[in-house]
Amino acid sequence: MAQKDAANGNGATTRPPPTPSPIRFSKFFQANMRILVTGGAGFIGSHLVDKLMENEKNEVIVADNFFTGSKDNLKKWIGHPRFELIRHDVTEPLLVEVDQIYHLACPASPIFYKHNPVKTIKTNVIGTLNMLGLAKRVGARILLTSTSEVYGDPLEHPQTEAYWGNVNPIGVRSCYDEGKRVAETLMFDYHRQHGIEIRIARIFNTYGPRMNIDDGRVVSNFIAQAIRGEALTVQKPGTQTRSFCYVADMVNGLMKLMNGDNTGPINIGNPGEFTMLELAENVKELINPEVTVTMTENTPDDPRQRKPDITKAKEVLDWEPKVVLRDGLVLMEDDFRERLAVPKKTKA
Ligand SMILES: NC(=O)c1ccc[n+]([C@@H]2O[C@H](COP(=O)([O-])OP(=O)(O)OC[C@H]3O[C@@H](n4cnc5c(N)ncnc54)[C@H](O)[C@@H]3O)[C@@H](O)[C@H]2O)c1
Ligand SMILES: O=c1ccn([C@@H]2O[C@H](COP(=O)(O)OP(=O)(O)O[C@H]3OC[C@@H](O)[C@H](O)[C@H]3O)[C@@H](O)[C@H]2O)c(=O)[nH]1
């Protein structure tokens, strides 16, 4: 029971939250909500920025080092009076005046986060410390995009937020898994010690338009392979499972979490669970029935199963995903075909 309470973030704060800028309480000047999105040039971040920019009361600042993200993802906002883009690495302090911080900066694809593992840890630990320091100074609310990888290779299925996980602390994925676990710890310590308003989302594998074509994650790999007419590379054994969430559902969940009352951690993901062989069959059927499926070597510590229990998100956020995998794959196909310049064959 103690485990459940701690996982739900019931640790009491010892201090009142820091005071936000006086402009928040100004009588005559209607200030906009100033929102910082770290990692906003990336896949999820840029979709979040699109949604935040729809609200004319929001001013959005993106801070990104462009390691996996791109200005291209934000091109429609560059030059907009309510939008600012800063080339910045979150491992360095950032001085901006904001009311909310969506802290996404961190490579998400295993290929990229394993590329420079020490940098990945610095991004998760020093980057999160810096953003918490900023939140403390300006009295901002901060949301961390944590991950299903905090559950490691889970021994409980599906995973609830109360599960403490089964993570290898010294493996090749640890820079990310353990990095995010420390980031969660820092969030709760700043909350308890300094009264910072925190929100933690545990995101499950998310897919959709605008993913890097060479991102290396399974959905983008299979879709690009199917469009190019290449074999779909299922890593062994192929029976490992994942739950895939469409990006629009994810953004909706993150915004509800930020603007709600619950600190989290809260699982945000789609509970539909598929083996990688099933995913390959779906992609093949929907996108290119002529491609073959080939079995390839897997990487160390690949989790065997993952499925979110989203009871808490339903209860406290009134959130659940709307887009089923087969619909989401088709939406993503259109975007990938455009970027790969391979139009759909029309039936003769
Ligand atoms: N997409 C998923 O399936 C998934 C699942 C779980 C958690 N998440 C988390 O969500 C967040 C966004 O994921 P994504 O899929 O959009 O990944 P992404 O790689 O497309 O985006 C990450 C962004 O962060 C930037 N970045 C990386 N290191 C940085 C640094 N040190 N300083 C500043 N910017 C930096 C990158 O350039 C990129 O724009 C990440 O924190 C990731 O861990 C994603
Ligand atoms: O070409 C491929 C790529 C991957 N895979 C398999 O597909 C499964 C999913 O792999 P992905 O690379 O998409 O990523 P994972 O689900 O392991 O991690 C993902 O979800 C949790 C997030 O925190 C991570 O940031 C995200 O990358 C793995 O079992 C992997 O072995 C293939 O079968 N073929």
Render pLDDT for 124-153 as a digit per residue (tens, 0 to 9). 999 999 999 999 999 999 999 999 999 999
Residues 333 and 280 in one domain: yes
Given a cut of 70, whether residue 29 has pLDDT beyond it is no
Q: List, for residues 49-61, the tens digit of each pLDDT value.
A: 999 999 999 999 9
Active site (annotated) includes residue 176: yes
Q: Is residue 312 part of a domain?
A: no
Q: What is the pLDDT of residues 265-283, one digit of tens each?
A: 999 999 999 999 999 999 9
Residue 154 in any domain: the answer is yes
Complex ipTM? 0.98
Whether 198 and 290 share a structural domain: no
Q: Are residues 234 and 179 in the same domain?
A: no
Q: Which residues of 258-290 are buried (b: 16+ CB within 10 A; e: fewer)?
A: beeebbbbbbbbbbebbbbbbbbeebbebbbee
300 and 160 both lie in a single domain: no
Which residue from 194, 138, 150 is spatially nearest to 21, judged by alpha carbons?
138
275 lines ligand 2 (CB under 6 A): no
Q: Is 267 in the pocket of ligand 2 (CB under 6 A)?
A: no
For residue 318, tell me if it sits in a domain: no
Residues 163 and 94 in one domain: yes
* Residues 56 and 200 grouped into a single domain: yes
How close is the Cα of 82 to the center of ligand 2, in Å?
36
Q: Are residues 255 and 286 in the same domain?
A: no
pLDDT at 57: 92
Predicted local confidence at residue 5, as pLDDT:
43
Q: Name all residues whose Cβ lies below 6 A of ligand 1.
A: 38-39, 41-45, 64-69, 89-91, 104-108, 123, 127, 145, 147, 203, 205-206
Counting ligand 2 atoms within 8 A of each CB, the residue from 232, 235, 294 with the most, and so the one to mutate, is 235
**Is it the case that residue 15 has pLDDT exceeding 80?**
no
107 and 133 part of one domain: yes
- 6 or 277: which leads in pLDDT: 277
The neighbouring-strand residues paired with 234 are 295
Kindly report the CATH number assigned to the domain that includes residue 191: 3.40.50.720
Percent of the chain residues past pLDDT 90, beyond the cut? 88
Domain-located, residue 26: yes
| Same-domain pairing of 64 and 98 | yes
66 in a domain, yes or no?
A: yes
Task: State which ligand 2 atom lies nearest to the alpha carbon of 107.
Answer: 25
**Among 68, 119, 128, residue to substitute to test ligand 1 (most atoms within 8 Å of Cβ):** 68
H or E segment to which residue 129 belongs: helix 117-138
Query: Which CA distances in Å does 158 have to 58, 116, 155, 180, 271?
Result: 37, 31, 9, 20, 8
Q: Is residue 313 part of a domain?
A: no
CA atoms of 329 and 331, how far apart (whole Å): 5
Asked if residue 211 belongs to a domain, the reply is no
pLDDT on residue 170:
97
Whether pLDDT at 48 is above 70? yes
If one counts the domains in the chain, the total is 2
Q: What is the pLDDT of residues 290-322, one digit of tens each?
A: 999 999 999 999 999 999 999 999 999 999 999
Nearest CA to ligand 1 atom 1: 206
**What digits encode the pLDDT tens for the residues 99-118?**
999 999 999 999 999 999 99
Cβ of 153 closer than 6 Å to ligand 2, yes or no, is: no
Residue minimizing CA distance to atom 11 of ligand 2: 217
Q: What local confidence, expressed as pLDDT, does residue 14 receive? A: 64
Q: Which of 104, 184, 250, 266 to mutate to test the pocket of ligand 1 (most atoms within 8 A of CB)?
A: 104
Domain-located, residue 347: no
Catalytic residue chosen out of the listed positions 151, 176, 190, 246 = 176
Q: List the domain range (segments joined by +) for residue 292.
A: 218-240+272-307+323-340
Is the pLDDT assigned to residue 260 strictly greater than 70?
A: yes
Residues 33 and 146 occupy one common structural domain: yes
The CATH number for 297's domain is 3.90.25.10
Q: Are residues 231 and 117 in the same domain?
A: no
Task: Please tell me whether residues 181 and 231 are part of one structural domain.
Answer: no
Q: For the ranges 69-73, 186-190, 340-344, which has the lowest average pLDDT?
A: 340-344
